[in-house]
Chains A and B, each alone.
Chain A
Amino acid sequence: MALLLRTQFWIIRNWLARMSYSSVFKSLGFGLITALFLLLLNGGFVRLLAEVRQVQLIGDLLIMKLVSLAFLSTFLMLVFSATLTTLTTLFLSKDLSIFMHAPLSFRSVFMFKSLQTVVFSSWMVILTLSPFLAAYRQIYRLGASFVLFLTLTMVPFVLIACGIGIALGLLLMRWMPTRRARDILIFLATLIGCGLYVLIRLMEPEKLIKADNFEILMQYINLLEAPTAPYLPSWWLTSAVTAFLSGRTAEMISTGALLAVVAIALGALLLWAAERFYYAGWTASQEGQRRDKKTPLGNEWAFIPPLPPPIKALLGKDSLLFFRDTNQWAQLMIVLALMAFYLISVSKIPMDTPYLKNLISFLNIGMISFVLSAIGLRFVFPAISLEGRSWWVLRSAPIETGRIVLIKFLTGAVPLALCGLLMAGASSFLLRVDRFFLLLNVSTVAVMSLTLAALGTGLGALFPRFHVENINQIETSPGGMLYMVFSLFYIGLTLSLEALIVRPYYFRLIQSPQSVPLTLPGSFWGLFLVFNGILVAISLFFGQRHLGRMDA
């Protein structure tokens, strides 16, 4: 184990030592953008929590509920992320063939790979949670002792969540060892994960913002005080944090100790299970999947419309790879759950006043485009990187990189636009918006989905990662983070621009509803299309230029 850790340290040290000035500069740039983004998020959370805290009687209870929901979702995300990461790190990672043939105990390899799993699956989740926790610390003016306590309790919390994920991965590979079965089970695991996600959504947290829905306030207070999933470590962590806030030392120690004991016990259980299942699971995972279907020669891309042969072949190849890679199905299920989650939320939003109705109808554009950017991160951004080590096939073939980038853009833009239009249409129907907002929603989302697809393709080409072992490493790369940051800025900018036409419309609607034109001004649309056209062109141009000049 010490040897493996030392090797890992050497790899990192050599990588740092070999960084060129441009790489250092680039990394600093990424760091700065990420820090800015986290600071912005933190600012938003501080405002939110400060306002919630001002609610008389129940402000602190509401915050506690929010903290428990944040920990619960973090816990579920960690479990899910660790399950998927385990399949790569513990079973399919390339260095395993070296480790398994070396005179190392399986226990050491398992422990080392488990540690990698914990790091890979948790860093992004923790980073996303940190602005919220920092805001919590700020509004309660907690000192360094809180940071220390939170760090100490977060460690076993993360270990438990990842430990459960590793155990699930281990069991999946033990019971269904071939890669085909593994893929099917990834699919099922995702389904369950998504089901849980939707289930949480059905717990109706929106009730938290509508205290007047309750006949008496006490009922509401009872709801707030009730533990959120009391048997899960997320609730133990919430209890520890609230105990710290109230200065209940005994409870702090007992909940902290509970987290630590469970983490240690789970670790011991995992080692026991690994002794029995790990090696068998690893050897079985080396098998490839078999196919029985025989496609007649010449009909390989028959499902693609008539197009020039190279384009048809590339589209056909990408489609086949997408549907055969069930990791992509897992991603697809997450997207469907995300869309379902959004539409269920929309259907449950209370629309008591015209003001609220119009505000929600307008913000709907922002929410849909946020969901689209998340879909873009999962499907469009990784498209170039997913060529992987086979990239030489296209790079040495007589086809322009510009054309490859364009094909990747189109294969991303069409499904993204369909998703966007579906969500815009369905949410407009659920919100019962007027014709003005229907037109605004549908047309804006259609254009934005194309721009987001171009942004994803362009940045995916600017920051390709051909040598990764799983798609999560592409999404969580600096390029992926940059895509999310740019997307959010773009969405914010678009909403700010559209507010210029929505505001006068809204005021005229209040003053004389009959005289309001229900169409969108042409000049606005002209400018909007030009702005988006420029963004699309810039993204694709720089992406293809970089890809064409890059050493393969």
Chain B
Amino acid sequence: MIETVSLTKRFQSVTAVDGLNLTVTPGEIFGLLGPNGSGKTTTLKLLTGLLRPSSGCALIGGIDIQKDPLNVKRMIGYVPDQPYVYPLLTGQEYLRLIGDLYHSPIETQRRRIPELLSLFDLQDRAHELVETYSHGMRQKLVLAGVLLHEPKVILMDEPMVGLDPKSIRLLKSVLGRLAQDGVTLLLSTHILEFAEKLCHRIGILQNGRLTYIGTPDDLQKKACLQGSLEDVFLKLTAESGDVAPSL
């Protein structure tokens, strides 16, 4: 469902993503890990079309995002690292905007918007301006917006940041359910416990290159280490592997 072929992005002299080859299958939850500045956000932005690749390509559902961006964008939902939402719209208005932009029928919106607001515990604040929302509430609003148009692929950049424990648990269960329904999920996270429990496969990015890829169990074996994913992650990122070994 998601495929990148030698995907590369350079910002002047800095190569943020370097020849990335990655495939994520339908219904899979793929976690992208890596230290700060390793290229996770850039990768997600390349997949959404927010950035243009310097070389290589990104395919969603077999369609190149650069060649047919509209059809790809109809399929995807994106949660950015910072939930910047029009501060002078209300929560409900934001969801209506998203619904209309993604051609969601008004009847569907009338049914889904109250459901989603209620799911994320925002129903009492739906008529207040977003500028009065906390970071976590904005994050939940963006998540509700993504779920509103029922995308086939969801790309999430640090979706847990700012969420309270109850909301994180809710998000886990929602994402698990979506994967069961065949939705493909690619998310970047620093919360390793979250990745360990939720992701089917994990990839580690270092300096824009995918250095390790596999299931959490495979990674542990590769690192020859018993313990949590955090121990494995710290060991692997301490080593300077250049090429992703096949696991």
Residues of A within 8 A of B (CB): 18, 20, 179, 288-291, 293-295, 297-298, 300-301, 309-310, 312-314, 316-317, 320-321, 324-325, 388-390, 392-400, 549, 551-552
Contact across chains for B132 and A290 when beta carbons are under 8 A apart: yes
Contact across chains for A549 and B52 when beta carbons are under 8 A apart: yes
Assembled-state Cα–Cα distance A203/B125 (Å) = 52
Are A551 and B132 also in contact (CB < 8 A) when A295-B92, A321-B88, A393-B86 are? no
* B50 in the interface (beta carbon within 8 A): yes
Assembled-state Cα–Cα distance A312/B109 (Å) = 15
Contact across chains for B86 and A551 when beta carbons are under 8 A apart: no
Contact across chains for B92 and A392 when beta carbons are under 8 A apart: no
Assembled-state Cα–Cα distance A122/B67 (Å) = 47
Measured CB to CB, the closest approach of chain A to B89, in angstroms, equals: 6
Choose among B70, B84, B88, B113 the residue that contacts A398 (Cβ–Cβ < 8 A).
B70
Choose among A20, A288, A392, A400 the residue that contacts B78 (Cβ–Cβ < 8 A).
A392
Contact across chains for A396 and B50 when beta carbons are under 8 A apart: yes
The chain B residue sitting closest to A18, CB to CB, is B12
Choose among A290, A312, A388 the residue that contacts B84 (Cβ–Cβ < 8 A).
A388
Choose among B52, B82, B89 the residue that contacts A320 (Cβ–Cβ < 8 A).
B89
Contact across chains for B84 and A397 when beta carbons are under 8 A apart: no
Contact across chains for A291 and B90 when beta carbons are under 8 A apart: yes
Contact across chains for B97 and A313 when beta carbons are under 8 A apart: yes
* B73 in the interface (beta carbon within 8 A): yes
B113 contact set on A, CB distance < 8 A = 297
Measured CB to CB, the closest approach of chain A to B82, in angstroms, equals: 7
Measured CB to CB, the closest approach of chain B to A181, in angstroms, equals: 15
Can you name 21 A-B pairs with beta carbons within 8 Å? A179-B131, A290-B132, A297-B114, A298-B110, A300-B96, A301-B100, A309-B106, A317-B86, A317-B89, A317-B97, A320-B89, A324-B88, A390-B84, A390-B85, A390-B86, A393-B85, A396-B76, A396-B78, A397-B73, A398-B71, A551-B52
Tally of chain B residues near chain A (CB < 8 A): 41
The chain B residue sitting closest to A322, CB to CB, is B88
* B64 in the interface (beta carbon within 8 A): no
The chain B residue sitting closest to A391, CB to CB, is B84
* B2 in the interface (beta carbon within 8 A): no
Measured CB to CB, the closest approach of chain B to A548, in angstroms, equals: 9
A324 contact set on B, CB distance < 8 A = 88, 129
Measured CB to CB, the closest approach of chain A to B113, in angstroms, equals: 6
* B221 in the interface (beta carbon within 8 A): no
Measured CB to CB, the closest approach of chain A to B108, in angstroms, equals: 11
- Residue of B45, B101, B103 contacting most chain A CB atoms (<10 Å): B101
Query: Which residues of B in the span 50-90 have a Cβ within 8 Å of any Cβ on A?
Result: 50-52, 70-71, 73-74, 76, 78, 80, 82, 84-90
Contact across chains for B102 and A291 when beta carbons are under 8 A apart: no
Choose among A20, A321, A393 the residue that contacts B98 (Cβ–Cβ < 8 A).
A393
Contact across chains for B129 and A288 when beta carbons are under 8 A apart: yes
Measured CB to CB, the closest approach of chain B to A399, in angstroms, equals: 6
* B128 in the interface (beta carbon within 8 A): yes
A397 contact set on B, CB distance < 8 A = 73, 98, 101-102
Assembled-state Cα–Cα distance A289/B87 (Å) = 10
* B235 in the interface (beta carbon within 8 A): no
A316 contact set on B, CB distance < 8 A = 97
Assembled-state Cα–Cα distance A310/B12 (Å) = 36
Interface string of B89-129 (1 = CB under 8 A from A): 11011001110111100100110011000000000000111
Measured CB to CB, the closest approach of chain B to A391, in angstroms, equals: 8
The 6 A-B pairs of least Cβ separation, nearest first, read: A313-B100, A288-B132, A389-B84, A398-B73, A309-B100, A288-B131
* B49 in the interface (beta carbon within 8 A): yes
Contact across chains for A291 and B129 when beta carbons are under 8 A apart: yes
A291 contact set on B, CB distance < 8 A = 90, 127-129
Measured CB to CB, the closest approach of chain B to A379, in angstroms, equals: 16
Are A294 and B80 also in contact (CB < 8 A) when A313-B100, A398-B102 are? no
Contact across chains for A552 and B73 when beta carbons are under 8 A apart: no
Measured CB to CB, the closest approach of chain A to B1, in angstroms, equals: 17
